[in-house]
Amino acid sequence: MQNFDIVVTGDCNLDLIFNQFDRLPKLGEEIIANQFELALGSSAGIVAAHMAALGARVAYVGAIGSDSFGEQFMAFLQSYGVCTDFMVEKAGFKTGCTVVMAKEEDRANLTHAGAMAELTPQDLPWHVIEKTPFFHMSNPYVLPLFRNELSALYQKLKESGTITSLDPQWDVNEQWDTNLKELLPVLDYFLPNNKELELLLAGNNLEQDALIAISSTQIIKTCGNKGVEIIQGNEIQQFKSYLNEQPVDCIGAGDAFTAGFLTATIEGKSLKEAINFGCKTGALSTTIEGGKVPYGSRKEFNDQFTKLF
Ligand SMILES: Nc1ncnc2c1ncn2[C@@H]1O[C@H](COP(=O)(O)OP(=O)(O)OP(=O)(O)O)[C@@H](O)[C@H]1O
Ligand SMILES: [Mg+2]
């Protein structure tokens, strides 16, 4: 079997992105959009694509239907060099899909979760995970069968010696009730944005200071164009972003940051160096639309970053 640096899992959907239209259609109307794109969607899928483009050996696991959208999702990942051998097909379900109507910096999204929401912890390729040093999950709240299993999942990973990370993303049910006291001690890198961390702390009736008592987990809080804070022990370290004052949009910056951070961590870089590299990949992603991965290799990334920052 091939060796991997990381197994990435989580959400799994295509984006159908409509641009350049006068206004959103009302029920019963048809409006023409002058630009359209079929793109790789999903936070986890985008992290996997960025990481493979940056040079990491990535296996991605997500659930698709037995349909052409599932094939297309895998083709997008494969084009960056991501291994899709362990994808799970859910008979009777459609591959997840989001219709994105994008206007100026705002978007209206309509999602059919379909197969992606059927992924279970048992579907994960444990024989591969056991031989792979890193595991990352993104957007668990769109996977209902993981919602109450996160601590158990990360406990199992910790026992097998895997280094783990989790990007919670937005809780689509707005419950924010994941038990941080259980989860954080068995997780190595927690990667929420500032709003998500605030809501999770409120859902746990915890002040940020109380995180200190919970564990030695590295909590890496991203704060948009302000950069990143690492909260560990009783220390908070701040890192500035490579500011893009005129971003095309900031969608997917978090996924690009995570991919850069994890790739550098896998390469053995220090925590500070890895955060710095994540800030670079995050910043570059704000120079293009949506969650696109604008480079196919580390060299292309370096060339583009040097040109733009
Ligand atoms: N305007 C910007 N200029 C430069 N860097 C940025 C900008 N916006 C974001 N970044 C970088 O990307 C990182 C992640 O951004 P952010 O906190 O917005 O993630 P997020 O809210 O999780 O995004 P998403 O989930 O939509 O991908 C930031 O810490 C920063 O380093
Ligand atoms: Mg995010």
Which stretches of 181-258 are assigned E, i.e. beta strand?
189-190, 218-222, 228-232, 235-239
Q: Is the pLDDT of residue 208 over 90?
A: no
**CB of residue 243 inside a 6 A radius of ligand 1:** yes
Given this model, what pLDDT does residue 23 score? 94
CB atoms within 10 A of CB 71: 13
What is the tens place of the pLDDT at every residue in 29-68?
999 999 999 999 999 999 999 999 999 999 999 999 999 9
Ligand 1 atom 22: the closest Cα is on which residue?
254
- Closest listed ligand to the CA of 282: 1
**CB of residue 308 inside a 6 A radius of ligand 1:** no
State the helix-helix crossing angle for 298-308 and 43-54, rounded to 10 degrees.
100
Confidence band for 207, pLDDT divided at 50, 70 and 90: confident
Given this model, what pLDDT does residue 215 score? 67
Residue 7 one-letter amino acid: V
Tokens of 283: 């910043």
**Average pLDDT value over all residues in the chain:** 94
Angle in degrees, CA 250, 256, 257, rounded to 5:
95
Query: How far is it, in rounded angstroms, from Cα 134 to Cα 132?
Result: 6
Taking CA atoms, 80 is separated from 141, 235, 284, in Å, by: 26, 37, 17
State the helix-helix crossing angle for 253-266 and 43-54, rounded to 10 degrees.
40
CA of 26 to the centre of ligand 2 (A): 30
Paired strand residues for 190: 166, 219
Given this model, what pLDDT does residue 234 score? 72
What is the tens place of the pLDDT at every residue in 80-125?
999 999 999 999 999 999 999 988 777 899 999 999 999 999 999 9
In this structure, are strands 163-167 and 189-190 parallel, antiparallel, or unpaired?
Answer: parallel
CA of 66 to the centre of ligand 1 (A): 34
Q: Which atom of ligand 1 is nearest to the CA of 250?
A: 8
C-beta separation of 97 from 70 below 8 A: no
> Can you give the residue ranges of every domain in the chain?
6-12+42-95+116-304
Q: Is the pLDDT of residue 235 over 90?
A: no
CATH topology of domain 6-12+42-95+116-304: UDP-N-acetylmuramoyl-L-alanine:D-glutamate ligase (3.40.1190)
What is the tens place of the pLDDT at every residue in 240-279?
999 888 888 888 899 999 999 999 999 999 999 999 999 9
- Closest listed ligand to the CA of 257: 1
